[in-house]
A and B are shown apart, each in its own frame.
Chain A
Amino acid sequence: MSALSKATDLVNLAVEGMDLISQVIDSPTLKTADEVVHAVRAVLQAVSRAAGGEVTPDAVRAELGALSSAIAAHDAKADQDLAARFDGSDHTP
C-alpha cells in the first residue's frame, strides 16, 4: 500500500469516525457516556489497525481500551437483560 493510499484511508477513517461519534452523541437511544467512549475507542482501534498494525504504545492503548470498553458494555448489557427478564419488561421470545 502506497503512502498516499494509506493516508487517504486514514483520512476516510477519521471522517467516518467523526460521523459515527456525532451519530452516537446525537442518538436518542444514547444511554451512557460509556457508549461514547466505546465508540471513540473503536474508532481509534480501527485507525491504529489501518495504519499498518504496527506495534506501538499508542496501538496497544487503542487495542486494550477497545477491549476494556467492549467488556464493560457486555457487562452492562447482560445486567440489563437479566433485570428485564424479571421485571416483566423483557419481550425477547
Chain B
Amino acid sequence: MTHSQPRTRIVTRAIGVLVVGTLFALCACAPHQAELSAANTVLNAASDGFSAWDEQHQTDIARGAKTLEQGTADLQSYRRKREPILAAFTLAYKTLAAAALSPSDLNVALALSTIQDLKTAVLSLGASWPKDPAAAPGVTP
C-alpha cells in the first residue's frame, strides 16, 4: 500500500505530462494547418481565375487581330509574358505541398511568400486575384 501510492502518483503525473504535451503539440500544429488550408483555397481560386482570364484574353487577341501574322505575334508575345506566371504557380503549389508534408515555420512562411509573389506576378499581367475574405494569412488581400 505504501509502495503503490507513489507509483500511482508517478503514473498519474506521467499521464498528465503526456496529455499536456500532446495538447501543446496539437496547439502548435493547428494554426499551421489552418494557414495551409486557407492558402490552398486561395491558390486554387487564383488558378481557376487565371485560367478563365487566360482563355478570354487569348480569344480577344485572336478576334482582334488585323492580320494572321499580327495575331500570331500578339499571341506569342502574350505567351512569353505568361511564362513566369505559370512558373510561379508551379513554385507556389510545390512549396505548399512541402509545407504540408513538413509544416515547420520556415516552410509555411516560404509557401505563403511564394503565393504573395504569385499574386504580384498575376496582377502585373493585368489578371485579377480572388477577393476571398478568408484569404491566406500572410498574403495581403
Interface code A50-93, partner B: CB below 8 Å = 1, 0 otherwise? 00011111011001101110110011011101110110000010
Question: Closest chain A residue to B72 by CB distance?
Answer: A82
Q: Chain B interface mostly helix, strand, loop or mixed? A: helix
Kindly state the separation between the CA atoms of A55 and B89 in the bound complex, as whole angstroms: 15
Supposing A63-B47, A67-B51, A85-B63 touch, asked if A55 and B58 sit within 8 A by C-beta, the answer is no
Question: Closest chain A residue to B111 by CB distance?
Answer: A55
Residues in chain B near residue A59, CB distance under 8 A: 40, 97
B67 an interface residue at 8 Å Cβ cutoff? yes
Asked if B65 contacts A63 (CB within 8 A), the reply is: no
Interface size class of B (residues with CB under 8 A): 35 or more
Question: Closest chain B residue to A74 by CB distance?
Answer: B55
Number of interface residues, chain A, beta carbon within 8 A: 26
- Minimum CB–CB distance for A47 against chain B, Å: 14
Question: Closest chain B residue to A78 by CB distance?
Answer: B58
Q: Chain A interface mostly helix, strand, loop or mixed? A: helix
Asked if A83 contacts B68 (CB within 8 A), the reply is: yes
- Minimum CB–CB distance for A1 against chain B, Å: 14
Asked if B67 contacts A86 (CB within 8 A), the reply is: yes
Q: Which of A57, A74, A77, A92 has the most CB of B within 10 A?
A: A74
Asked if B94 contacts A78 (CB within 8 A), the reply is: no
Interface residues of A (CB under 8 A from B): 49, 53-57, 59-60, 63-64, 66-68, 70-71, 74-75, 77-79, 81-83, 85-86, 92
